[in-house]
């Protein structure tokens, strides 16, 4: 009974809870929380408790596979690597590096992500590298780097218990980031004021002191109104503005008319706006937490800037219990961004089009790195359809389910000459690959994750990889080798990490030993702050003074109309994660929610003849999906809501690809749909069945 | 029954016995009346009316069902199943000859002894008729009771079950079909005993038609229906000790271990329907009188 | 009870290691706080294979663990095992594991942070009917080893120990009593238990607590008396179907949901109410001789929603005060 307990980090969301894996004779028998973990303190959410099921050997991809007309054929690693390398070589020769690209994984380690962008830049010679932050917090990176100089959570999770007011704007942190949601509930019970801004009545909205139930897409209108109210009443932090910000004049001028028509636009009354503005500005310490309800819009970047403006004029930055805190969703999306898996920045956010930065990396890697910023993931899809992009390496992501406009994504992936997918299980995306590689799960490898509060934590291997699965940086290295390059020749994960710290200023004073000793290190961690940094922007901003930038409301791209009379937004459920490929393997989580649902207000349902749990069809300009209706008062009339976790009823059949011009963030949070009840007795059909009928010409 | 390594005490049997699916007939919308065969008539203890068994569909799972006909001397028994979820969907894909599993019988059945000489009114809703079927047959055969009538409510004609059985029972007992949606059926209140609405809507008419007053009420169907019917009859003067119902719950073990079938009545928070029920007397479900 | 002097628990540990697997594997000297993970999973396994089906036959698959020792278990967890011994008395899987287990308890001489075992008669001293042997620390270099039964005595064969003085029993009782004195005031717990049993907690309060409950399942996973499980079928590589049971949680919305979608406890508040009524119910106590709760406090530690035992009982008690 050789029982071992290995300390590691939960693979699901950006909270990065401490997780112990108990193994017996090389098999995982249970997961346990860590009492002394600085963030999770002995707690886990439902996903964390069910993580063992997620990586279970059942239905894992165990060997490399190559696509044939008869289906996937199991091959050796050598054959798979040769096929990949030959494919890449051909594409590079015929169409050049810009026809290739890599989509890395916000779930994989920093080491894996660093290897991915290095393969792209130092071997393939392309900046076409991106990952799911594109559709998640790319506006955060773009917006906050303009206003504050840094796009990460400014404060720490612990601050939630040391603040006077928490403003949750467009986030649902008891569904995802549940441990932080728990901190918020605890803080509130102990007297911290809680304001929630969300079109839906979320769990926190039910507990909050004030719920600003704003109309979908009216974020900037509300925020500008709050800013104007604060300035009009003299509630701003004049000292902070004076010493640490610039642009107040332009901002003040830009919000001159912000109160006109704001009640109509936002659905929030002026007294409510004033009350929230007063509370936030007058609290000694106030924290903003925000999520997809701010970012996933065509005005995503501007939404973030508006939020930043609010925090800046109130001086709620740079101190404990304050800050602008984007809730980075995935366990390592912060890390994937830090590692430069973005088309316009190197590791550490050093800009690709900055000649000095380019020279630095060229020198360090001993090869000329490409000059121009690359394509985003959305850009790669578009370029594929235009015939300009031909070869894609992708791992730990399921864009067929999680990217907007699923049909577009499928067409693009079909068109690629080479699609390489490394995965744990046969997801919808893996099913479209030319070569499938077996990936090691978080429990089967060593490396680091960076959580939403910039804490770099150590992930320790507890199990042998299943079958022939490999850590991502290992098979990326093998591809590099096959292409004749030694750029990715590392001995182990620690060696990769060492290289990361040499080239990434924010990570420069980190090493595995220190990370273990101090239970993670929050960047910046350099010679000035060798034990990490809990609070950013204490004395100065990376850009010197913070910038107040005027932004104006931009309407959502697709309003409801006669043909599509309801607005659709998307949400997360506590019980599932992403495309569900891991959480749906748990019998408990799979039982908890039906495979697909549409939340709808009872009044709307009544008008349509839809009853609770009845089967419905939902149509948008992009596609059609069938699922079951859940009637709830949590939604206002006119707004319906779908979680995106269920591949049988993918909300991304319906969502809009209209993009934020700066970041190419798609407007996942708003589009127009129509809802119809299905014939009585009919069950909702899974999308595969509906698509097959379409192909056959049946409606 | 099952061999187990630790033969020292009466362990719960959590492992099924193999049975064969003999055949089935379609009986109502999405419902089938199955015949199964045990290895031998003595494979399981003789079930009491109202007891249930756990049917295993290998690969899909296990779920509780009632015997509509208990095992005969060939070991053949019958159960009525409506297709609802994973287990029943898998069952509906099975063919005669397929091997399935059974554990049972479990639970406390109908209080047959307390029915001696009673004037019994049974009210069943939807699938709730199945747990009463065996009792009806037994009472008809034994003449143990004084009077017996059945009120059977469903949403519409298509959802009615046990059609052959009801035709047979109609010869012996008063039988009322209550349909929420009578549709194109020729509704006649006197001869066919077909009434519109819910069982409660029709109760006054039913009681008028019977020339005896029920002194015992047996209920089986959706909880809302059973609860409303019990309260209705208490208002009519029936004692809470003369009302019994059969409660349905999600079950995984049927022996009071897995916890799923608990009752949430405050004073019964540690009761398990599989062991202490599924049959309950109405007064036992009510909070105890405060002293 | 026979009693002996022991220089250090490791002496006993090393002796037992010759014939038993020791759980926990690493020696942790004299920890008098219950570990976050109770030994529940050693007897009521988190995943247990129940039987296989090869297409024709169903075959029970009982576990066959080698003899093992649960070493240094606190009174709360031993009390929980004692309860589960009763609850699972007729479960062949539990008993197959249980009969291979030797239980070595440890008296707690100081209150732990979240524990309230004295309030629910589950500690801090180990009751002799709940263990095979009991360790009691006398000083930095001296321990008392109490042998509770024949099984414990047999396990000591081959280990030479000096018998202890009779007076040690009294001293032990005094030390335990003194530990009890140091526990925090538990009046809110008693008030909460009374309110729950008299069904006097307002529905609105249960609903409010229900909003905070995330159904994370942390409480039921860590609770040493929780015993609910679900089942599923898995397919082995040889094609056999295997039924497995796994720990379940009554706080999940789907715990009681039927195939028809009818759910008697659809509201979270109802589930939370039932959980606490089950843990502190007098009816339960009548059947099992004690409350379902052993006062380990783990639910409080692991609950993100602030609805663990202390939080809930304090809310109930203070809510009751407001009404008076």
Give dist(CA A624, CA A687) in Å, integer: 8
Residue B138: give its domain's CATH number.
Answer: 3.40.50.80
Reported as half-sphere exposure (CB side, CA atoms, 13 A), residue C312 has a value of 33
C-beta of residue A393 within 8 angstroms of C-beta of residue A479: yes
* Chains with 3 or more CB pairs under 8 A to chain C: A, B
In the listed set A478, A495, A517, which residue is the last one of a domain according to the structure? A517
Which one, of C43, C78, C77, C38, lies nearest residue C63 by Cα?
C43
Q: State the pLDDT at residue C324.
A: 56
Task: Give the tens place of pLDDT for each residue, C93-134.
Answer: 999 999 999 999 999 999 999 999 999 999 999 999 999 999
Task: Give the tens place of pLDDT for each residue, B156-171.
Answer: 888 899 999 999 999 9
Same domain, C201 and C282: yes
Instruction: Quote the number of domains for chain C.
Output: 2
Q: B257 and C229: CB-CB below 8 Å?
A: yes
Question: Which residues of chain C from 101 to 140 reach within 8 Å of chain B, CB to CB?
Answer: none
Cβ-count burial A215-237 (b if 16+ within 10 Å, e if not):
bbbbbbbbbbbbbbbbbeeebbb
Residue A395: give its domain's CATH number.
Answer: 3.40.50.740
Question: Which residues of chain B from 219 to 248 reach within 8 Å of chain C, CB to CB?
Answer: 222-223, 248
β-partners of residue B36 are B21, B77
Residue C181 has pLDDT above 90, yes or no: yes
- Those residues with Cβ within 8 angstroms of residue C321's Cβ, 6 or more apart along the chain or in another chain: none
Same domain, C145 and C209: no
β-partners of residue B5 are none
C241 touches chain B (CB under 8 A): yes
Per DSSP bridges, beta strands C68-74 and C101-106 are parallel
Which one, of A445, A452, A368, A403, lies nearest residue A644 by Cα?
A403
Helix axes A110-118, A472-482, angle to 10 degrees: 20
Residue C323 has pLDDT above 90, yes or no: no
Q: How far is B186 from chain C (nearest CA, A)?
A: 30
Q: Please give the residue that has the higher pLDDT: either A26 or A336.
A: A336
Q: In chain C, what residues touch B58 (CB-CB under 8 Å)?
A: 53, 55, 233, 241
From the list C92, C199, C265, which residue is nearest B6 (CB)?
A: C92
C41 touches chain A (CB under 8 A): yes
Residue A28: give its domain's CATH number.
Answer: 2.20.25.90
Q: B88 and C93: CB-CB below 8 Å?
A: no
Q: How far is CA B235 from CA A141, B206, B232, B239, B280, in A?
A: 68, 16, 5, 9, 19
Q: Which helix (H) or strand (E) holds A166?
A: strand A165-169
Q: Please, what is the average pLDDT of chain C?
A: 94
From the list C51, C232, C273, which residue is nearest B15 (CB)?
A: C51
Q: C258 and B249: CB-CB below 8 Å?
A: yes
Task: Give the tens place of pLDDT for each residue, A673-686.
Answer: 999 999 988 889 99
B88 touches chain C (CB under 8 A): yes
From the list C58, C256, C257, which residue is nearest B101 (CB)?
A: C58
What string of H, E and C letters represents the secondary structure of chain C?
Answer: CEEEEECCHHHHHHHHHCCCEEECCCCCCCCCCCCCCCCHHHHCCCEEEEEEECCCCEEECCCCCCCEEEEEEEHHHHHHHHHHHHHCCCCHHHHHHHCCEEEEEECCCCCCCCCCHHHHCCCCCCCHHHCCEEEEEEECCEEEEEECCHHHHHHCCCCCCEECCCHHHHHHHHHHHHHHHCCCCCHHHHHHHHHHHCCCCCHHHHHHHHHHCCCCCHHHHHCCCCCCEEEEEEECCCCCEEEEEEECCCCCHHHCCCCCCCCCCCCHHHHHHHHHHHHHCHHHHHHHCCCCCCCCCHHHHHCCCCCCHHHHHHHHHHHHHHHC
Give dist(CA A438, CA C256) in Å, integer: 38
Residue A669, domain member (yes or no): yes
pLDDT-derived band at A477 (thresholds 50, 70, 90) equals very high
Q: Which residue has the tokens 């009538």?
A: B149
Q: C214 and A49: CB-CB below 8 Å?
A: no
Extended strands (E) in A107-159: 129-130
B260 touches chain C (CB under 8 A): yes
- Chain B nearest-CA residue for C53: B58
Give dist(CA A47, CA A645) in Å, integer: 13
A46 touches chain C (CB under 8 A): yes
Q: C212 and A33: CB-CB below 8 Å?
A: no
Q: How far is B65 from chain C (nearest CA, A)?
A: 13
Same domain, B119 and B101: no
Give dist(CA A500, CA A512) in Å, integer: 12
Cβ-count burial A521-552 (b if 16+ within 10 Å, e if not):
bbbbbbeeeeebbbbbbeeebeeeebbbbbbe
Q: Which of A341-355, C25-39, C161-175 has the lowest mean pLDDT?
A: C25-39
Which one, of A430, A340, A365, lies nearest residue A113 by Cα?
A340
From the list A58, A183, A207, which residue is nearest C234 (CB)?
A: A58
Same domain, A273 and A391: no
Q: How far is B190 from chain C (nearest CA, A)?
A: 34
Q: State the pLDDT at residue B291.
A: 46
- Chain C nearest-CA residue for A206: C211
DSSP state of A345: B
Give dist(CA A445, CA C161) in Å, integer: 47
Asked if ipTM goes beyond 0.85, one says yes
Same domain, C166 and C229: no
Which one, of C115, C118, C60, C48, lies nearest residue C88 by Cα?
C48
A58 touches chain C (CB under 8 A): yes
Same domain, B37 and B134: no
In the listed set B49, B82, B106, which residue is the last one of a domain according to the structure? B106
Chain centre distance of CA A571: 13
B288 touches chain C (CB under 8 A): no
Q: C65 and A1: CB-CB below 8 Å?
A: yes
Q: State the pLDDT at residue B268.
A: 86
Task: Give the tens place of pLDDT for each residue, A403-446.
Answer: 888 889 999 999 999 999 999 999 999 999 999 999 999 999 99
From the list B4, B15, B261, which residue is nearest C58 (CB)?
A: B15
Question: Which residues of chain B from 38 to 77 reach within 8 Å of chain C, CB to CB?
Answer: 56, 58-63
Per DSSP bridges, beta strands A447-450 and A455-459 are antiparallel
Q: A29 and C212: CB-CB below 8 Å?
A: no
β-partners of residue B25 are B33
C230 touches chain A (CB under 8 A): yes
- Those residues with Cβ within 8 angstroms of residue A93's Cβ, 6 or more apart along the chain or in another chain: none
Domain that holds residue C211: 187-323
Domain that holds residue B141: 112-246
Give dist(CA B53, CA A268) in Å, integer: 57
β-partners of residue A458 are A448
Q: State the pLDDT at residue A596.
A: 83
β-partners of residue B156 are B181
At C225, give phi and psi (nearest 5°): -100, -15
A182 touches chain C (CB under 8 A): yes
Domain that holds residue A47: 3-54
Residue A231: give its domain's CATH number.
Answer: 3.40.228.10
Q: C36 and A35: CB-CB below 8 Å?
A: yes
Residue B30: give its domain's CATH number.
Answer: 2.40.30.10
From the list C257, C261, C302, which residue is nearest A42 (CB)?
A: C302
Tell me the pLDDT of chain B (291 aa) as tens digits: 333 344 446 899 899 999 999 999 998 788 999 999 999 999 999 999 999 999 999 999 999 999 999 999 999 999 999 999 999 999 999 999 999 999 999 999 999 999 999 999 999 998 899 999 999 999 999 988 889 999 999 998 888 999 999 999 999 999 999 998 877 655 555 555 788 888 999 999 999 999 899 999 999 999 999 999 999 999 999 999 999 999 999 999 999 999 999 998 888 877 899 999 999 999 999 988 754
- Report CA torsion sign: A74, A78, A80, A82: negative
Q: In chain B, what residues touch C93 (CB-CB under 8 Å)?
A: 14
What does pTM read for this prediction? Answer: 0.94
Same domain, A506 and A480: yes
Residue A553, domain member (yes or no): no
Q: Which helix (H) or strand (E) holds A3?
A: strand A3-9
- Those residues with Cβ within 8 angstroms of residue B78's Cβ, 6 or more apart along the chain or in another chain: B33, B34, B35, B36, B67, B68, B69
Instruction: Quote the number of domains for chain A.
Output: 4
Q: State the pLDDT at residue B9.
A: 60
Q: How far is B223 from chain C (nearest CA, A)?
A: 9
Residue A60, domain member (yes or no): no
Q: How many residues does chain B have?
A: 291
Tokens representing C267 are 């509201």
In the listed set C141, C161, C181, which residue is the last one of a domain according to the structure? C181
Interface-testing mutation among B54, B252, B263, B285, with chain C (most C C-beta atoms within 10 A):
B252
Give dist(CA A29, CA A26) in Å, integer: 9
Question: Which residues of chain C from 53 to 92 reach within 8 Å of chain A, CB to CB?
Answer: 65-66, 68
In the listed set B106, B133, B152, which residue is the last one of a domain according to the structure? B106
Rounded (to 5) percent helix, strand, coil in chain A: 35, 20, 45
- Those residues with Cβ within 8 angstroms of residue A419's Cβ, 6 or more apart along the chain or in another chain: A391, A392, A394, A413, A432, A433, A434, A435
C258 touches chain B (CB under 8 A): yes
From the list C37, C216, C257, which residue is nearest A44 (CB)?
A: C216
- Those residues with Cβ within 8 angstroms of residue C45's Cβ, 6 or more apart along the chain or in another chain: C63, C93, C97
C-beta of residue B181 within 8 angstroms of C-beta of residue B155: yes
* Chains with 3 or more CB pairs under 8 A to chain A: C
Average pLDDT over residues C150-166: 95
Other CB atoms within 10 Å distance of the CB of residue C73:
29
Q: How far is C228 from chain B (nearest CA, A)?
A: 5
Residue C314 has pLDDT above 60, yes or no: yes
Same domain, A336 and A323: no
Residue A536, domain member (yes or no): no
Q: In chain C, what residues touch A631 (CB-CB under 8 Å)?
A: none
Instruction: Quote the number of domains for chain B.
Output: 2
Same domain, C157 and C217: no
Q: How far is CA A581 from CA A192, A426, B185, C217, in A?
A: 37, 9, 50, 21
Same domain, B66 and B132: no
Cα dihedral: C147, C149, C155, C160 (round 10): 40
Residue A533, domain member (yes or no): no
Residue B82, domain member (yes or no): yes
Q: Which residue has the tokens 């000096």?
A: C162
Q: State the pLDDT at residue B290.
A: 58
Task: Give the tens place of pLDDT for each residue, A609-646.
Answer: 999 999 999 999 999 999 999 999 999 999 999 998 99
In the listed set B106, B134, B156, which residue is the last one of a domain according to the structure? B106
C-beta of residue A678 within 8 angstroms of C-beta of residue A615: yes
Reported as half-sphere exposure (CB side, CA atoms, 13 A), residue B57 has a value of 18
Residue A699 has pLDDT above 60, yes or no: no
Q: In chain A, what residues touch C41 (CB-CB under 8 Å)?
A: 29-30
- Distance in Å from the first CA to the final CA of chain A: 58
Q: A613 and C261: CB-CB below 8 Å?
A: yes
β-partners of residue A470 are A439
Reported as half-sphere exposure (CB side, CA atoms, 13 A), residue B181 has a value of 6
Q: Please, what is the average pLDDT of chain A?
A: 95
Same domain, C57 and C174: yes
Q: In chain B, what residues touch C199 (CB-CB under 8 Å)?
A: 266-267, 287
From the list A4, A181, A591, which residue is nearest C254 (CB)?
A: A591
Q: B87 and C259: CB-CB below 8 Å?
A: yes
Q: Which helix (H) or strand (E) holds A5?
A: strand A3-9
Sheet with C101-106: strands ordered across: C21-23, C68-74, C101-106, C133-139, C142-147, C2-6, C162-163
Q: State the pLDDT at residue A26.
A: 87
Q: State the pLDDT at residue B188.
A: 52
Taking one residue from B and the other from C, the number of pairs with CB-CB distance under 8 angstroms is 139
Q: C301 and A35: CB-CB below 8 Å?
A: yes
Q: State the pLDDT at residue B2.
A: 38
Residue B42, domain member (yes or no): yes
Q: B257 and C87: CB-CB below 8 Å?
A: yes
Same domain, C64 and C160: yes
Q: In chain A, what residues touch C37 (CB-CB under 8 Å)?
A: 22, 30, 32
Same domain, B53 and B146: no
Question: Which residues of chain B from 101 to 140 reach within 8 Å of chain C, CB to CB?
Answer: 101
Same domain, C37 and C166: yes
Same domain, B172 and B91: no
In the listed set C131, C156, C181, which residue is the last one of a domain according to the structure? C181
Tokens representing A46 are 């439902």
Same domain, B100 and B117: no
Residue A37 has pLDDT above 90, yes or no: yes
């Amino acid at each position: 009974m050789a029982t071992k307990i290995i300390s590691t980090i939960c693979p699901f969301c950006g909270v990065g809870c401490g997780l112990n894996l108990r193994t017996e004779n090389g098999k995982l028998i249970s997961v346990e929380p860590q009492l002394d973990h600085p963030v999770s303190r002995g707690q886990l959410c439902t996903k964390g408790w069910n993580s063992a099921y997620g990586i279970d050997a059942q239905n894992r991809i165990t060997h490399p596979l190559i696509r044939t007309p008869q289906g996937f054929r199991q091959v050796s690693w050598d054959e798979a690597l040769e096929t990949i390398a030959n494919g890449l070589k051909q594409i590079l020769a015929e169409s050049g590096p810009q026809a290739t690209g890599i989509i890395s994984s916000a779930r994989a380690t920093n080491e894996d992500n660093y290897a991915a962008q290095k393969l792209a830049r130092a071997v393939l010679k392309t900046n076409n590298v991106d990952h799911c932050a594109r559709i998640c917090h790319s506006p955060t990176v773009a917006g906050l780097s303009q206003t504050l100089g840094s796009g990460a959570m400014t404060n720490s999770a612990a601050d939630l218990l040391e603040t006077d007011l928490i403003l949750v704007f467009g986030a649902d942190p008891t569904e995802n980031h549940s441990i932080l949601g728990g901190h918020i509930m605890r803080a509130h019970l102990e007297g911290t004021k809680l304001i929630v801004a969300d079109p839906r009545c979320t769990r926190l909205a039910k507990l909050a002191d004030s719920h600003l139930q704003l109309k979908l897409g009216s974020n900037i209108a509300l925020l500008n109104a709050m800013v104007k109210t604060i300035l009009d009443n003299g509630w701003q932090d004049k000292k902070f503005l004076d010493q640490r910000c610039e642009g107040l004049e332009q901002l003040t001028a830009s919000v001159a008319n912000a109160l006109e028509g704001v009640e109509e636009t936002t659905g929030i009354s002026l007294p409510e706006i004033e009350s929230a503005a007063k509370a936030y500005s007058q609290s000694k310490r106030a924290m903003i937490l925000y999520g997809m309800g701010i970012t996933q819009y065509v005005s995503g970047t501007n939404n973030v800037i508006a939020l930043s403006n609010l925090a800046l004029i109130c001086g709620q930055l740079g101190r404990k219990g304050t800050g602008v805190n984007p809730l980075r969703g995935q366990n390592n999306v912060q890390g994937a961004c830090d590692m430069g898996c973005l088309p316009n920045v190197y590791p550490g956010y050093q800009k690709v089009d900055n000649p000095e930065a380019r020279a630095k990396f060229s020198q360090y890697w001993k090869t000329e790195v490409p000059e121009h910023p690359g394509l985003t993931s959305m850009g790669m899809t578009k370029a594929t359809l235009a015939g300009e992009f031909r070869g894609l390496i992708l791992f730990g992501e399921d864009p067929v389910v999680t990217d907007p406009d699923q049909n577009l994504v499928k067409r693009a992936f079909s068109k690629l000459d080479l699609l390489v997918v490394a995965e744990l299980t046969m997801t919808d995306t893996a099913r479209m690959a030319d070569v499938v590689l077996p990936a090691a799960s978080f429990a089967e490898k060593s490396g680091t994750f960076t959580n939403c509060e910039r804490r770099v934590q150590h992930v320790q291997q507890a199990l042998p990889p299943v079958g022939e699965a490999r850590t991502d940086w290992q098979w990326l290295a093998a591809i590099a080798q096959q292409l004749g390059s030694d750029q990715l020749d590392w001995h182990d994960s620690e060696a990769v990490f060492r290289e990361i710290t040499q080239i990434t200023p924010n990570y420069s004073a980190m090493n595995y030993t220190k990370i273990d000793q101090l239970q993670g290190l929050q960047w910046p961690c350099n010679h000035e702050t060798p034990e990490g940094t809990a609070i950013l922007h204490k004395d100065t901003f990376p850009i010197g003074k913070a910038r107040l930038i005027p932004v104006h409301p931009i309407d959502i791209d697709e309003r409801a109309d006669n043909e599509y009379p309801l607005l659709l937004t998307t949400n997360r459920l506590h019980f599932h994660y992403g495309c569900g490929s891991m959480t749906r393997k748990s019998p408990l989580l799979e039982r908890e929610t039906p495979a697909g649902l549409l939340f709808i207000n009872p009044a709307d349902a009544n008008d349509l003849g839809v009853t609770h749990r009845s089967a419905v069809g939902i149509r948008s300009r992009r596609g059609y999906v069938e699922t079951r209706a859940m009637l709830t008062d949590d939604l206002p009339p006119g707004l319906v809501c779908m979680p995106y976790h269920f591949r049988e009823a993918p909300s991304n059949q319906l969502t809009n690809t209209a993009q934020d011009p700066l970041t190419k963030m798609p407007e996942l949070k708003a589009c127009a749909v129509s809802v119809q009840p299905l014939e009585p007795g009919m069950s909702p059909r899974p999308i595969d069945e509906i698509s097959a009928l379409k192909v056959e010409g049946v409606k | 029954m099952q061999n187990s390594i630790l033969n020292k005490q009466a362990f719960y049997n959590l492992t099924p016995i193999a049975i064969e699916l003999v055949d089935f007939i379609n009986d109502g919308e999405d419902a089938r009346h199955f015949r199964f065969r045990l290895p031998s008539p003595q494979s399981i203890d003789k079930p009491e009316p109202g007891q249930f068994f756990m049917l295993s569909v290998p690969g899909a799972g296990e779920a509780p069902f009632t015997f509509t006909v208990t095992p005969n001397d060939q070991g053949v028994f019958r159960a009525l199943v409506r297709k609802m979820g994973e287990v029943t969907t898998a069952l509906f894909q099975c063919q005669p000859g397929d091997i399935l599993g059974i554990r049972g019988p479990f639970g406390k059945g109908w209080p047959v002894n307390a029915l001696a000489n009673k004037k019994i009114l049974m009210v069943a809703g939807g699938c709730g008729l199945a747990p009463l079927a065996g009792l009806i047959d037994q009472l008809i055969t034994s003449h143990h009771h004084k009077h017996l009538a059945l009120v059977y409510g469903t949403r519409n004609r298509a959802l009615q079950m046990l059609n052959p059985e009801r035709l047979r029972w109609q010869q012996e007992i008063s039988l009322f079909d209550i349909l929420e949606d009578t549709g194109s059926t020729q509704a006649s209140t006197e001869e066919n005993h077909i009434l519109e609405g819910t069982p409660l809507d029709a109760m006054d008419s039913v009681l008028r038609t019977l020339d005896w007053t029920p002194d015992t009420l047996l209920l089986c169907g959706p909880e809302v229906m059973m609860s409303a019917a019990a309260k209705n009859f208490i208002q009519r003067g029936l004692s809470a000790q003369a009302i019994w119902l059969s409660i349905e719950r999600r079950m995984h073990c049927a022996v009071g271990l897995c916890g799923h079938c608990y009752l949430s009545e405050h004073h019964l928070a540690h009761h398990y329907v599989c062991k202490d029920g599924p049959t309950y007397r109405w007064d036992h479900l009510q909070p105890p009188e405060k002293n | 009870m026979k009693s002996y002097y022991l220089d250090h628990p490791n002496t006993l540990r090393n002796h037992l290691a010759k014939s038993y697997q020791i759980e926990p594997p690493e020696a942790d000297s004299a920890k008098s706080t219950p570990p976050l993970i109770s030994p529940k999973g050693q007897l009521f396994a988190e995943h247990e294979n129940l039987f296989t089906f090869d297409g024709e036959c169903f075959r029970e698959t009982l576990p066959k663990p080698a003899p093992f020792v649960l070493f240094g278990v606190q009174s709360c967890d031993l009390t929980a095992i004692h309860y589960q011994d009763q609850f699972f008395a007729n479960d062949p899987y539990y008993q197959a594991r249980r009969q291979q287990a030797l239980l070595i308890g440890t008296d707690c001489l100081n209150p732990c942070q979240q524990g309230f075992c004295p309030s629910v008669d589950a500690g801090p001293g180990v009751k002799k009917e709940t263990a095979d042997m009991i360790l009691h620390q006398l000083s930095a270099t001296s321990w008392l080893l109490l042998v509770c039964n024949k099984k414990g005595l047999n396990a000591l064969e081959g280990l030479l120990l000096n018998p202890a003085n009779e007076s040690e029993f009294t001293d032990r009782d005094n030390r335990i009593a003194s530990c009890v004195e140091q526990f925090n005031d538990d009046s809110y717990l008693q008030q909460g238990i009374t309110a729950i049993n008299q069904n006097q907690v307002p529905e609105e309060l249960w609903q409010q607590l229900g909003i905070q409950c995330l159904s994370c399942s942390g409480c039921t996973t860590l609770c040493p008396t929780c015993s609910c499980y679900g089942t599923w079928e898995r397919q082995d590589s040889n094609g056999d179907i295997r039924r497995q049971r796994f720990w379940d949680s009554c706080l999940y919305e789907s715990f009681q949901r039927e195939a028809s979608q009818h759910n008697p406890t659809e509201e979270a508040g109802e589930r939370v109410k039932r959980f606490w009524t089950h843990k502190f119910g007098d009816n339960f106590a009548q059947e099992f001789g004690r409350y379902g709760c052993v006062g380990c406090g783990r639910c409080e530690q692991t609950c993100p929603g602030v609805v663990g035992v202390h939080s809930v009982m304090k809310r109930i008690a203070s809510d009751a005060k407001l009404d008076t």
